[in-house]
Amino acid sequence: MPAPPSLPELQRAFARALQGGEAPALHAWIAARGIDPAARLRIYRHAGYAIHVEVLATAFPALRRLLGEDSFDGLATRHAARHGNCSGNLQDYGADFADFIAAQAETAAWPWLDAVARLEWLRQQAVLAADEAPADAGALLAALANAQGTLRLRPSVRVLRSDWAVLDLWRHALLPDVATPEPAVPQAVLLWREHAQVAMRAIAPAQAAFAEALCRRAPLADALAEAQAVDAATPPEALLQPLLEHALFAA
C-alpha cells in the first residue's frame, strides 16, 4: 500500500469529491464498514448539495416561487455541483446565483428572473449588515454644507436599478393579493433594515443614482452630478427625501 496522504491532501481530495469530482485515490483511506467507499462519498456529496439548496431556498424565496419548487431545486443543485461555497460561512453562499440564473438556457424566456435574484441577494446583505445609529440633525446639516465632503449612509442601505419591475415582481411572488405586474417596466429600489426587517421602496432613477454614489462614499458634489446626469430636473431636496424620510444617513 502506498504511503498515506497528508491531512491537507486528504482534505483537498475530500473537497473535490464533495464537489462531484472523482477521488479514487481517496477510497483506500475510507473505512467501508459495509458501505462501498465511493457510495459513502456520494452520501456526503448529496447531503452537501441538499444543504446548499436549502441555503439558496432561504435566501431566494421569491425566485423559488416564480420558478416553481422543482425547477428552482434543480437549478440550485446544479449550482451547488458546479460552484459550491468558496467561503466557510454559508451566509456568503449565493452571491453569484443571479449571474448563474441569467446564464441558464431554460430561464431565457424570463429574462427578469435574475433581476429578482439580485434584489433578494441585496435583501440578504441588508439583513446581515452592521448596525449604526442615524445622524443627528446638526451633524447632517453640517455635512450638507460641504459639497466636497461625504454623506455616509447606514450600513444596511442598498440600491438596485433594474430594467425590470423587480420590486413589483418580488411582491407578486410572495404577497397574496398583488396582481401580476408588467415585467418590462424599469424600476429602482431602495433597501434598508428597519426593526430587524428589510424594508424596500421604489424610488426615482435620479434618487437611485444619488444613493448609489453615496454608497460608494462619493463626495456630495459628485453624487449630485451623477443624479443630475440621470435627470437634471430633479431638485436636490428630492434626491435627499427618501434617505431623510427613513433616517438612512449614518451618524
Predicted local confidence at residue 145, as pLDDT? 85
Q: What's the whole-number average pLDDT of the chain?
A: 90
**What is the band of 3 on the pLDDT scale with cuts at 50, 70, 90?**
confident
pLDDT of residue 25 exceeding 70, the answer is no
Query: Per-residue pLDDT tens for 112-131?
Result: 999 999 999 999 999 999 99
| CB distance 83 to 101 below 8 Å | no
Query: Per-residue pLDDT tens for 71-96?
Result: 999 999 999 988 877 677 889 999 99
Q: What is the pTM of this model?
A: 0.86
Query: Per-residue pLDDT tens for 60-76?
Result: 999 999 999 999 999 99
| CB distance 63 to 113 below 8 Å | yes
The DSSP result for the chain, as a single string, is: -PPPPPHHHHHHHHHHHHTT---HHHHTTS--TTS-HHHHHHHHHHHHHHHHHHHHHHH-HHHHHHH-HHHHHHHHHHHHHHT--SSS-GGGTTTTHHHHHHT-GGGTT-TTHHHHHHHHHHHHHHHHSPP-PBPPHHHHHHHHT-TTS--PBPTT-EEEEESS-HHHHHHHHHSTTPPPP-SSS-EEEEEEEETTEEEEEEE-HHHHHHHHHHHTT--HHHHHHHHHHH-TTS-HHHHHHHHHHTT-BB-
Per domain, the residue ranges of the chain are 1-110, 114-251
